[in-house]
Amino acid sequence: MRLLLALGNPGAKYRDTRHNIGWWLADRLALRWGAEPFRPHGATVGATAWTTGSGRPGVEIHKPLTYMNRSGEALAALLAARPAAPRLDPAADILVLVDDVALPAGRFRVRKRGSPGGHNGLASISASLDSDDYGRLRLGVGRPPDDRIDLAAWVLSRMSRAEEEEALGAFPRAAEAVEYWLDHGVEAAMNRFNRPG
């Protein structure tokens, strides 16, 4: 079983914000693969979906409802609910879909490990796994144009129309990167899809 964990915040207030770009891609992947609708998975975990259609058996897409800063709690609950065997290997079987201010809108990078880099959602996941050794697809949302703009406020704001078009324009290739990760692993996906610079 492979697990895609899309980070974001629940509720209409956050739906269209930069911080939820991982959820946007998760929705696109579910549509692309003919997945079942997202449905609740326990009181603590929140909305999840199991993707089995369109040639993608053995893949689950999860959108935690624990809020960004507690994403690791959702992951821990998901893993605890799984059968003991076969054991899931985070380094090979988990890919986190997450926003990244270090990349401009329309860019993405596949990473096989790394520190959270100040991202509270990734920090929560790393704490839950007691490891930074898990894959992530970092989706660019750009930096604030002014250093005086609070970063937390920035990621909880909406993109401009031009930025959103750039971000959504990258989704077909980002979806291909996820599929390549599923078929060939994180190293191969990094080599094929990461642009220099």
Q: Kindly state the tokens that stand for 105.
A: 């809108």
pTM (2 d.p.): 0.92
Confidence of residue 51 (pLDDT cuts 50, 70, 90): very low
Mean of per-residue pLDDT scores for the chain: 89
Predicted confidence (pLDDT) at residue 147 exceeds the cutoff of 80: yes
pLDDT in tens, 87-126: 889 999 999 999 999 999 999 999 999 888 889 999 999 9
Predicted confidence (pLDDT) at residue 183 exceeds the cutoff of 90: yes
Within 13 A of 57's CA, how many CA atoms are on the CB side?
A: 0
Predicted confidence (pLDDT) at residue 197 exceeds the cutoff of 60: no
Please report, as a single letter, which amino acid is at residue 14: Y
Across the chain, where does the E strand assignment appear? 2-6, 39-40, 47-51, 59-62, 94-100, 108-111, 135-140
**In what helix (H) or strand (E) does residue 124 lie, and over which residues does it extend?**
helix 120-129
Within 13 A of 83's CA, how many CA atoms are on the CB side?
A: 3
CATH class of 2-193: alpha beta
Predicted confidence (pLDDT) at residue 193 exceeds the cutoff of 60: yes
Cβ count near 12 (within 10 Å): 6
Q: Between the CA of residue 106 and those of 116, 156, 171, 186, 191, what are the distances in Å?
A: 21, 18, 8, 20, 18
* Residues involved in catalysis: 19
Confidence of residue 54 (pLDDT cuts 50, 70, 90): very low
Q: Kindly state the tokens that stand for 143.
A: 């930096």
Tell me how far the alpha carbon of residue 142 is from its chain's centroid.
Answer: 16
Domain boundaries, the chain: 2-193
φ, ψ of residue 131 to 5 degrees: the values are -170, 150
Omega prior to 10 cis, within 30 of 0 = no
